[in-house]
Structure 1
Amino acid sequence: MTEYLNVYNEDLKWCGSEERRIVHENGKWHYVFHCWVYDQSHQKIILQRRATTKDLFPKSYDASCTGHYSSDENHDSTRELSEELGLEISYDKLIYLLDFQDVFIKPGMLDREIARVHLLITDGFKPLPSTPEEIHSIVACDYEAFKALIYNKVDEVALECLYGDNGEGKLIRSELVPRKAPYYQEVFKHIHEHVKKL
């Protein structure tokens, strides 16, 4: 089934919808959904390891949940959370953090995206994806350890596999999706503002 995305000009004004493949070939700006899950009871950040079939950065670690908004979706859609993590929740359970623009380039692809980044605070998180082909694994990382990793204080951290196969049970910084700096630091700064209040 052909997927269509809403596209935007340099001023981020909507200018129609186009086939996803064409959007990525022609470098049209489009919005994507990001959500970081914090498991409050275990003080852990949840990460996703991307499937081996992904066009960009297969088997790299990423935010807990990521995906494109289809052209018929509003920015309050939580479809990706349902598909990738098995979480059936409404948008008002999420905390909006920030928008972050990024560009990814590879032969035949110019991916220009605006990530709408959110936080979900849970207790005792247990993933049950309905689209397992979208992900390789879902893992939990100690909150303070992940903070040390993204601020370059350590080179690797231990992981607990919650779903799928995580192999060696550790994350090396270079295995994170290489998002434009300072994505991880900016996101973590916003997350910490909420976590420290718990």
Structure 2
Amino acid sequence: MSQEYFDIYDADMKNIGTKLRSEVHKKGFWHKSFQCWFIGRDNGEEYILFQKRQFDKDTYPNLFDITAAGHLSAGETVEDACREIKEELGLDVKFQELIPIDIIKEQKAELDFIDNEFANVFLYFCSAPLEKFNLQQEEVTGLYKANLNDIVKLFNKELDFVNLNGFKINESGDKEKSCIKALIKDFVPHDFSYYDKVFKYAKELLQTV
């Protein structure tokens, strides 16, 4: 199996070289990621889509996360990284269809890794039903809709849980309808300011489409 390399940067996003992925996360080098949140409207209900990470992921296994995301490998552009949508979700989405939010500096530290990212964050208004998604089962184990107003209230601590509706991949590899009551601890721990910005822009975009 070939080893993956990332371009690395200083805190001002100036390129300072290339390192192995494992070394990047061990020593906390700054690197770039692509993140795309899918939003939509279903029978008047505004929603945002969360993927559920696989049980054996090396970081944040089995938690709810960004609809489609991934690191930029060495030499890749953000536009190249749009491939993550096709790879993880099985949908053909053009980079030009995405709505940029911002480049957000994210820092997360756990016992066995340090993740310092320049996250290139986008929104995508999706009209495709969940039946059209074909998940990369090595990475994603389910896809769920969250009512946008409810998820905002959850992260504002106005609700104890939210209902997520979607599907999971069962042991036979088939899609199975699923409804989950999710707590804050069930989501990847991005900073509150990160979630706040994403949800704010999602609401603004949904008012225009």
User: Fold conserved (TM > 0.5)?
Assistant: yes
Going from structure 1 to structure 2, the CA distance change for 1:172 and 1:108 (only over 3 Å counts) comes to: closer
1:135-158 Cα offsets, whole Å, 9 max, x none, are 121111122222222222211111
Give the AA of the match of 2:198.
V
Contact 1:138-1:164 at 8 Å conserved across structures? no
Aligned-partner Cα distance in 1 for 2:104–2:76: 19
Aligned length: 197
Aligned-partner Cα distance in 1 for 2:128–2:157: 28
Which of 87, 94, 105 matches 1:90? 94
Give the AA of the match of 1:187.
V
List aligned pairs for 1:86-125, cutoff 5 A: 86-125=90-129
Shift of 1:168: 5.7
SS for the counterpart of 1:11 is coil
1:136-188 Cα offsets, whole Å, 9 max, x none, are 21111122222222222211111112342586622112211111231111111
Which of 144, 148, 153 matches 1:148? 153
Report the more deviating stretch, 145-154 or 4-13.
145-154
Aligned-partner Cα distance in 2 for 1:13–1:104: 20
SS for the counterpart of 2:32 is strand
Equivalent residue for 1:187? 198
Equivalent residue for 1:137? 142
Equivalent residue for 2:134? 128
List aligned pairs for 1:12-23, cutoff 5 A: 12-23=13-24
SS for the counterpart of 1:191 is helix
Report the more deviating stretch, 175-184 or 27-36.
175-184
Contact 2:168-2:178 at 8 Å conserved across structures? no
SS for the counterpart of 1:185 is helix
SS for the counterpart of 2:11 is coil
Q: RMSD over aligned Cα, in angstroms? A: 1.7
Going from structure 1 to structure 2, the CA distance change for 1:108 and 1:157 (only over 3 Å counts) comes to: closer
Contact 1:5-1:18 at 8 Å conserved across structures? yes
Identity score, percent: 28
Which of 147, 153, 163 matches 1:158? 163
Give the AA of the match of 1:146.
I
Aligned-partner Cα distance in 2 for 1:4–1:125: 35
Q: Structure 1, unaligned stretches of length 5 or more?
A: none
Equivalent residue for 2:75? 72
SS for the counterpart of 2:79 is coil
Q: Structure 2, unaligned stretches of length 5 or more?
A: 171-176
SS for the counterpart of 1:194 is helix
Contact 1:41-1:124 at 8 Å conserved across structures? no
Contact 1:140-1:162 at 8 Å conserved across structures? no
